[in-house]
Chains A and B, each alone.
Chain A
Amino acid sequence: MNAIAKSPHQDLQSPVAGSQVIASSERKIWPLTGGVHPEENKHQSTSRPVSVPPLPETLVLPLSQHAGLPADPLIRVGDKVLKGQMIAKASGFVSAALHAPTSGTVTAIENRPIPHASGFYDLCIILETDGQEQWCPLAPVADYRQLSPAELVEKVRDAGISGMGGAGFPTAIKLAPGTAINTLIINGTECEPYITADDMLMREKADAVIQGAEILQYMLGAQECLVGIENNKPEAITAMRRAAAGKNIDIVVFPTIYPSGGEKQLIQILTGQEVPSGKLPADLGMVVQNVGTAVAVKDAIVDGKPLISRITTLTGDALAAPQNVDVLIGTLAQDLLQYAALKTSELSTLVFGGPMMGFSVDRMDIPVIKTSNCLIAATEDEFPAAPDAQACIRCGHCAEACPSSLLPQQLYWHARAENHEQLMHHNLFDCIECGACSFVCPSSIPLVQYYRASKGAIRTQEAKHAKSERSKQRYEDRLARLEQEKTEKEAKRKANAERAAKLKAAKTTEQTESNANAEEDPIQAAIARAKARKAAAAAGNSEPASARQASDRPLSAKQKELKVQLSMAKAQAKKTERALAAAEASAELKGDKGDIEQLKSNLAMLNEQVSKLQQAFDENSQYSASKDSAEKPVKAAKPALSDNEKKRKVELAMAKAALKKAERALAAAVESNNGNTESFKQAVEACQANIKRLETEASEPPAETAITPSADAKPSAKKAKAPLSDEAKKLKIESAMANAAVKKLQRAIANAGEDELDTLKQQLVAAEQKAAELKQGLESLS
């Protein structure tokens, strides 16, 4: 909740809007649209000079002290750091680095409460100070004019400077705008009640402010530099005028009105120009920087010191010694309030920032960050609870007070109706949340709260919409991918079928050819049969051996399977249990018991299954354990056996695969002859190739010839005369294909489970045989 300082004496009926151009001695200035005059309450904290509180024992440094992405820690817990050392780097373009405010040890990087309206915790670096104040080596620049503006911007970025007026936008980005800048405006307005940090800074460090302004002017290449100060700070004005004497810097004084310190409002007062909706001051050739930022830039360039401290106002009636302090970033509010003599019993609200735009916090272990310009420890009388909101009486004071020329009433109604479209239509995002409307509202409607909430809701919705767009894209991409996979599979399947048909046709021709040399066939067949028998016998022997081997391993495949089954059954039981509970709940209402009985019996069955599986699993593990201990001596001999076994298996596979393939080829050839003349023609061509090869190679016919040849392919055998080079090409392709198949199968074997292994091995052997055959053919051809 923002705490609004509402004086009972405030004349609510006259929100002041300057109507005529006010002439100053040096420069023409323009009036602010709207605006209000809250009670200032600035004198309390200006009576004492800026002091430096004692070094606290612990500093809490949030990683997100600026607008944009949080900084990225560079140190680890336990590291010793020196004063000014960078402990977290900027994690993106819109981000700022963080430096150790003093020397000490990092004791933790953890979530701590941070100064944020939400009251949430965020990641902070916790630094235990050692009291040495030992600086890290600094790199001051003797004459900044020797460096290019870009180099200076880099130094500002490395110094971790972000806007010190309150919004905390990383300064380096504003200093490299990409458009030509004519005017640099230094903001010394400080229009919020209570806050005097900039006032005291200008009083005590006017020279530093001017020096910083000159550096900024050089970096931006701006022709003119204006320093805007409200006329309620005469000491600051005098000091600044003295410091700026003889320099190309104008000190412009204008009447006090809230919120003249807003970036766009200040531009309007000093130049008469309005920043258009949705644009930045840089689009008008202007850059606005806070006086505190100017000093931070001067420290960073001239002294080489990063941003590790700031001037903060400690005020409010609950403090006996309200004052401004030059405080290290990360100092806890409780330490500072202690320093300013807090009267604990009188404290009712602790506010970070000013009374108009700040937020209250409900604890004191919150650190001061780069944007904390004020801490108000207020008493009950000072910030009374907001009175109950009444109905809007349509007086229109809010519209007169609005510095952005918005229509607060319209916005209020649309915000209550959550009509985001209308809110956007009424330029909700031009609202600077200054709170002037709430301040003047005679019905005490917390208008600005409605706008903040609506802005948040709209941003959330936009983020949601962006995510749904992304999801849609991902969903469509996935569908496209699945579709593509499907078509690819289909195409592959087709290609495979075609190739198979071709090969089969070729083989049938082969068989026809070998049929011609029929006298060799029976021998070949006999050899193949004998081999097959032998291999089968060998495989039969080896099978149980391998099975034994499998169960010997500590966690066998069987055990694994059992385990998975067990967990699946358990999950199902759990699910049923839940369903049962739900059903029982609903049954109490309906009086229907049929479902429950069924579910109960299901559950019982499942539980039984679970226990059975558990038993099986336990038994299996026990069995394998006992087996393990019993068969250990035998085990050593087994690997040798498996090699042999493999060879025998391979031999067996060779024969089997050859058989199967020939059968398939036959079937395919018949089919293609019946239905598809085109594919048959192709097959015939392939046949020709094969015949040619068979003619040239004098090798033995392959095992496939043992099968009865197909009569369909016979006629093609006669016209088997084609140029040799073509044959060679075809053979080469086929052989390459065969080789590829071999490789593929090898890979498949490497990945395969135990049960698939045999068939895959068979296939591999057949493929290897084929590849060898083709290679041989190719060699003989060439």
Chain B
Amino acid sequence: MDIVLYAIGALLALALIFGAILGFAAIRFKVEGNPIVDQINEILPQTQCGQCGYPGCRPYAEAIANGDAINKCPPGGQATINTLADLLDVEPEPLDAEHGQESVTKVAFIREAECIGCTKCIQACPVDAILGAAKQMHTVISDECTGCDLCVEPCPVDCIEMRPVDITVRTWSWALPQPNHGKAGLIATDLRGQTV
């Protein structure tokens, strides 16, 4: 009988100790907010273009964390969708055409002769990449431009265009060789059952 009491006592003591530790840890290491949002935000391209229908990348990250679709980001393209699918352990889907198409990286360019200095594009730029002042010519800091397109619409004289970013000697890289053995597959055993 004693043994049973000891056992119960010992278990009780252990339960109390671990309960105390867990209780302490729950307070001490409490995580504020939803950490998955940060991870999703990290993957999104941060163009802040709003093509997803949300006013920036972070709001979209929050929406994804709350169950929105992951295929609404045209600037990120399929690569971003795949990474998100990996992170969230869901099936990757093709890009939702409703929100735009994946295209080459572009940056805004102001045709400076036509600029009237209205500052409307400066206010629209989410990353402060347009330089200028009222009644002064504006220009785009192309290194900081995310190519979000948001400055094009507000321009009253239509002097902003999106130009594709040129590849230079320093940004060029080799292309993957085109596998010319489509019928052969990745490894030789893939040919099983076929006549070559």
Verify if A644 is at the interface (C-beta below 8 Å from B). no
Q: Which residues of B contact A122 (CB under 8 A)?
A: 168-169
Q: Which residues of A contact B57 (CB under 8 A)?
A: 472, 475
Contact status A450-B126, CB under 8 Å: no
Verify if B66 is at the interface (C-beta below 8 Å from A). no
Contact status B127-A478, CB under 8 Å: yes
Contact status B172-A120, CB under 8 Å: yes
Contact status B187-A394, CB under 8 Å: yes
Answer whether A449 and B177 are a contact pair too, CB < 8 Å, given A416-B186, A568-B156: yes
Q: Which residues of A contact B45 (CB under 8 A)?
A: 464, 468
Contact status A474-B181, CB under 8 Å: no
How many angstroms between the C-alpha atoms of A122 and B169 in the bound complex? 7
Interface residues of A in 410-468 (CB under 8 A from B): 413, 415-416, 418, 443, 446, 449-450, 452-457, 459-461, 463-464, 467-468
Contact status A449-B174, CB under 8 Å: yes
Residue of B nearest to A472 (CB): B46
Q: Shortest Cβ distance from A339 into chain B, in angstroms? A: 28
Q: Which residues of B contact A568 (CB under 8 A)?
A: 156-157
Verify if A388 is at the interface (C-beta below 8 Å from B). yes
Q: Shortest Cβ distance from A117 into chain B, in angstroms? A: 7
Residue of A nearest to B125 (CB): A478
How many angstroms between the C-alpha atoms of A391 and B146 in the bound complex? 41
Contact status B188-A393, CB under 8 Å: yes
Verify if A273 is at the interface (C-beta below 8 Å from B). no
How many angstroms between the C-alpha atoms of A470 and B127 in the bound complex? 9
Verify if A756 is at the interface (C-beta below 8 Å from B). no
Answer whether A475 and B187 are a contact pair too, CB < 8 Å, given A120-B168, A453-B173, A455-B173: no
Q: Shortest Cβ distance from B142 into chain A, in angstroms? A: 12
Q: Which residues of A contact B171 (CB under 8 A)?
A: 460, 463
Contact status B144-A470, CB under 8 Å: yes
Verify if B132 is at the interface (C-beta below 8 Å from A). no
Verify if A114 is at the interface (C-beta below 8 Å from B). yes
Q: Which residues of A contact B180 (CB under 8 A)?
A: 388-389
The listed residue (B128, B169, B186) touching A478 by CB distance below 8 A is B128
Contact status B187-A457, CB under 8 Å: no
Verify if B69 is at the interface (C-beta below 8 Å from A). no
Verify if A469 is at the interface (C-beta below 8 Å from B). yes
Verify if A392 is at the interface (C-beta below 8 Å from B). yes
Q: Which residues of B contact A120 (CB under 8 A)?
A: 167-169, 172
Q: Shortest Cβ distance from B195 into chain A, in angstroms? A: 15
The listed residue (A418, A443, A459, A470) touching B173 by CB distance below 8 A is A459
How many angstroms between the C-alpha atoms of A2 and B21 in the bound complex? 62
Give per-residue flags for A572-614: 1 if the beta carbon is below 8 A from chain B beta carbons, else 0.
0011000000000000000000000000000000000000000
How many angstroms between the C-alpha atoms of A443 and B175 in the bound complex? 20
Residue of B nearest to A120 (CB): B169
Contact status B184-A474, CB under 8 Å: no
Q: Which residues of B contact A475 (CB under 8 A)?
A: 46, 48, 56-57, 126-127
Answer whether A391 and B168 are a contact pair too, CB < 8 Å, given A446-B177, A478-B128: no
Interface residues of B in 43-64 (CB under 8 A from A): 44-48, 56-57
How many angstroms between the C-alpha atoms of A452 and B116 in the bound complex? 47
Answer whether A388 and B181 are a contact pair too, CB < 8 Å, given A472-B41, A475-B56: yes
Answer whether A474 and B144 are a contact pair too, CB < 8 Å, given A388-B180, A571-B156: yes
* Interface size range on A against B: 35 or more
Q: Shortest Cβ distance from A548 into chain B, in angstroms? A: 25
How many angstroms between the C-alpha atoms of A459 and B174 in the bound complex? 11
How many angstroms between the C-alpha atoms of A712 and B14 in the bound complex? 74
Answer whether A391 and B186 are a contact pair too, CB < 8 Å, given A471-B48, A475-B46: yes
Verify if A14 is at the interface (C-beta below 8 Å from B). no
Q: Shortest Cβ distance from A391 into chain B, in angstroms? A: 4
Contact status A118-B169, CB under 8 Å: yes
Contact status B177-A474, CB under 8 Å: no
Q: Which residues of A contact B31 (CB under 8 A)?
A: none
How many angstroms between the C-alpha atoms of A449 and B171 in the bound complex? 17
Q: Which residues of B contact A85 (CB under 8 A)?
A: none
Verify if A64 is at the interface (C-beta below 8 Å from B). yes
Verify if A714 is at the interface (C-beta below 8 Å from B). no
Among B41, B146, B167, residue most surrounded by chain A Cβ atoms (within 10 Å): B146
Q: Shortest Cβ distance from B105 into chain A, in angstroms? A: 8
Contact status B46-A575, CB under 8 Å: no
Contact status A456-B174, CB under 8 Å: yes
How many angstroms between the C-alpha atoms of A470 and B31 in the bound complex? 25
Q: Which residues of B contact A450 (CB under 8 A)?
A: 176-177
The listed residue (B47, B158, B187) touching A392 by CB distance below 8 A is B187
Verify if B32 is at the interface (C-beta below 8 Å from A). no
Verify if A116 is at the interface (C-beta below 8 Å from B). yes
Answer whether A453 and B172 are a contact pair too, CB < 8 Å, given A392-B187, A416-B186, A567-B157: no
The listed residue (B146, B174, B187) touching A452 by CB distance below 8 A is B174
Interface residues of A in 95-136 (CB under 8 A from B): 114, 116-118, 120, 122
Residue of B nearest to A568 (CB): B156
Verify if B185 is at the interface (C-beta below 8 Å from A). yes
Among A443, A460, A471, A477, residue most surrounded by chain B Cβ atoms (within 10 Å): A471
Q: Shortest Cβ distance from B114 into chain A, in angstroms? A: 8
Q: Shortest Cβ distance from B37 into chain A, in angstroms? A: 13
Answer whether A468 and B46 are a contact pair too, CB < 8 Å, given A116-B169, A392-B187: yes
Give per-residue flags for B113-143: 1 if the beta carbon is below 8 A from chain A beta carbons, else 0.
0101000000000111100000000000000
Q: Shortest Cβ distance from B38 into chain A, in angstroms? A: 11
Interface residues of A in 361-388 (CB under 8 A from B): 388
Verify if B22 is at the interface (C-beta below 8 Å from A). no
How many angstroms between the C-alpha atoms of A464 and B147 in the bound complex? 13
Residue of B nearest to A459 (CB): B173
Q: Shortest Cβ distance from A557 into chain B, in angstroms? A: 12
Q: Which residues of B contact A393 (CB under 8 A)?
A: 187-188
Residue of B nearest to A389 (CB): B181
**Interchain Cβ contacts under 8 Å between A and B, 29 examples:** A64-B170, A389-B179, A390-B181, A390-B184, A391-B181, A391-B187, A393-B188, A416-B176, A416-B186, A443-B188, A446-B177, A450-B176, A452-B173, A453-B173, A453-B177, A455-B173, A461-B79, A464-B45, A468-B146, A472-B41, A472-B57, A474-B144, A475-B48, A475-B56, A564-B116, A567-B114, A567-B116, A571-B156, A571-B158
Q: Give 6 new A-B contacts, CB below 8 A, not counting A390-B188, A392-B188.
A: A389-B177, A391-B188, A392-B187, A418-B176, A475-B46, A475-B126
* Leading 4 A-B pairs by shortest Cβ distance: A456-B173, A468-B46, A391-B184, A571-B158
| Contacts from B to A (Cβ < 8 Å) | 41, 44-48, 56-57, 79, 114, 116, 126-129, 144, 146, 155-158, 167-177, 179-181, 184-188, 190-191
